[in-house]
Amino acid sequence: MAESIISRFTQAAGLQPRKDAPRPVRVIAVASGKGGVGKTNVSANLALALQMAGEQVLLMDADLGLANVDVLFGLQPMFHLGHVLEGRCSLNDALVQGPSGLTIVPAASGLKQMASLSHAEHVGLIRAFSELARPIDTLIVDTAAGIADSVTTFCRAAQEVLIVANNEPASLTDAYALIKVLSRDHGIHRAHVIANMIRSAADGYEMFEHLRRVSERFLDVHLNYLGGVPYDEYLQRAIRRQTAVVEAYPSAQSSVAFRNLAATVRKWPPPEGARGHVEFFVERLIGTGAYA
């Protein structure tokens, strides 16, 4: 069953084997313990900030049942991942162009079957992206909120996991729950944290330190503070305009924060080798069997 689904996705992508393997793709899964903490805004603005800094970025909406990346950018895609699953279009057909050349993979909204894909279907989806024929430097995967199977599967398929949280007790509790599940059940012992909608730099770091102390005391995990994004009225204006704040208001405090996050991400060393389980772009990680 899994093989047939994997094969269907691979064929849908219109792939042909090639001898010269392209460079590895850095894959970053953006997750949160609960909804409403601004995870998708972080994903979208980080992706666009990286694109504007000169990278080739692919932003995947992996909130498969309640997708809204396309809404955030004011796009009206003809196809989405639900159509790919149904065989109505190829993966390449589902890609849409966003601002500054950012490539976006839209998902479906309000489709129950998209929110309850089997593990084999998730694997097939990951394999299709692994072999996508595009010059890509970074893939940002905007996962669903919470600890559902799709979230943990996409986090395991990425090299870096970024947890978005704010200073509300429920957000911190659920962020800890997500870190616990990823660490104890899925062998993910390292993650980066972004403090979102903070009132000050000190407020963001204090939030992170609280989460770090609790996590590292009770779990086998190491957390890294990636930085904070301030609460910003200009970000709210950008949302209402259906644009990214880094594009609409480049001088806003939140825009500066997103560019700083992107600059930090760009300094990370390139990914090296596969870890032994299903990953995005595994062919490019091992340097053989690449497709174009």
Cβ contact 38:250 at 8 Å: no
pLDDT of residue 238: 95
Percentage of the chain lying above the pLDDT 70 cut: 83
Nearest one of 214, 70, 24 to 80, comparing CA atoms: 70
pLDDT of residue 217: 94
Question: The tokens of 285 are what?
Answer: 């990680």
Mean pLDDT, range 167-173, rounded to an integer: 94
pLDDT band at 115; cut points 50, 70, 90? low
Using DSSP's 3-state secondary structure scheme, residue 113 falls into helix
pLDDT of residue 275: 66
When mean pLDDT is compared over 9-18, 34-43, 75-84, 142-151, the highest value belongs to 34-43
Block residue for tokens 């991942």: 81
Domains and CATH numbers, the chain: 25-110+135-269 (3.40.50.300)
Tell me how many degrees the CA angle 137-21-136 measures, rounded to the nearest 5.
15
DSSP strand pairing (96-97 vs 103-105): antiparallel
Using DSSP's 3-state secondary structure scheme, residue 27 falls into strand
Give the C-alpha separation, 179 to 79, whole Å: 33
Percentage of the chain lying above the pLDDT 90 cut: 55
97: number of Cβ within 10 Å: 10
Mean pLDDT, range 213-229, rounded to an integer: 96
Mean pLDDT, range 7-13, rounded to an integer: 50
Give the C-alpha separation, 166 to 207, whole Å: 8
Give the C-alpha separation, 264 to 248, whole Å: 22
Helix ranges, the chain (H): 2-12, 39-52, 69-72, 81-85, 91-94, 112-115, 119-130, 149-156, 169-186, 201-218, 233-241, 245-248, 253-266, 282-286
Q: How far is CA 206 from the centre of its chain?
A: 25
Question: The tokens of 65 are what?
Answer: 């049942």
pLDDT of residue 274: 66
pLDDT of residue 24: 83
Give the C-alpha separation, 154 to 254, whole Å: 27
When mean pLDDT is compared over 11-25, 141-155, 199-213, the highest value belongs to 199-213
Question: The tokens of 43 are what?
Answer: 């994903």
What are the pLDDT digits (tens) for 79-96? 888 788 777 888 888 899
